[in-house]
Amino acid sequence: MPPSALPVDRDERHFEDYVPGAVLLCGPIAVDEAEILDFGRRFDPQPFHTDPQRAARGPLGGVIASGWHTASLMMRLLVDHFLPGQAGLASPGVDELRWLAPVRPGDRLSLRITITEARLSRSKPDRGLVQTFIEVTNQRGEPVMTVKTMVLMRCRSVGTTTPAGRDPGT
């Protein structure tokens, strides 16, 4: 499978389509100052997210997006380009979320999603767990956030093999 591609259209994807080692590139999504300020005022009311004048005098030299806003922009790209349209069930969580650099108004964020593991559920044979490592980068290719995620997905058929073609019992 070529980099930045999955073999099936998003709306038709199931667990079997997420092969370890596959990489998907998606984005960009624009970061808008008005959205940064609105998100900050609503959910993370620190001056560097809500007040351009105070932020300009502060140690970061201007307004920056809340890390949670950055995570929300990542989620938008995941839903639009990576997660299965019908077979997605939920996520049991994320690990190792890191904010590496400020996200500023005018930045354009993209994702590099690497599938690190895909395994069938031992207790529910109609689903599998896909683990990923996601790098969020700005328009200069600089990483601004990384996270490891887990997603539960329906299998196309019960008793399937794993995406790598291994028998589920191995």
User: What does the alpha-carbon distance between residue 28 and residue 49 come to, in Å, rounded to a whole number?
Assistant: 22
What pLDDT, on the 0 to 100 scale, is given for residue 151? 97
Query: Which band of pLDDT confidence, cut at 50, 70 and 90, is reported for residue 168?
Result: very low
| Each residue's pLDDT tens digit, 86-103 | 999 999 999 999 999 999
pLDDT of 6 reads 81
How high is the pLDDT of residue 8?
87
b/e map 54-86, b = 16+ CB within 10 Å: ebeeeeeeebbbbbebbbebbeebbeebbbbee
What was the pLDDT predicted at 170? 37
Retrieve residue 12's tokens. Answer: 């038709």
Q: What is the pLDDT at residue 2?
A: 43
Residue 158, pLDDT score: 72
Lowest mean pLDDT among 48-52, 100-104, 156-160: 156-160
Instruction: Give residue 163's pLDDT.
Output: 57
Indicate if the pLDDT at residue 165 is higher than 90. Answer: no
Where is average pLDDT lowest: 3-7, 19-23, 79-83, 122-126?
Answer: 3-7
Does the CA dihedral 69-102-24-90 come out positive or negative?
A: negative
Domain 10-154 - what CATH class?
alpha beta
In sequence order, the 6+-apart residues with CB closer than 8 A to the CB of 164 are 19, 20, 118
What pLDDT does residue 161 have? 56
Fill in the amino acid letter for 15: F
Average pLDDT taken over every residue of the chain = 91
Q: Write the CB contacts of 38 (distance below 8 Å, at least 6 apart in sequence).
A: none
pLDDT digit string, tens, across residues 3-31: 456 888 899 999 999 999 999 999 999 99
Q: How far apart are CA 48 and CA 55, in angstroms?
A: 4
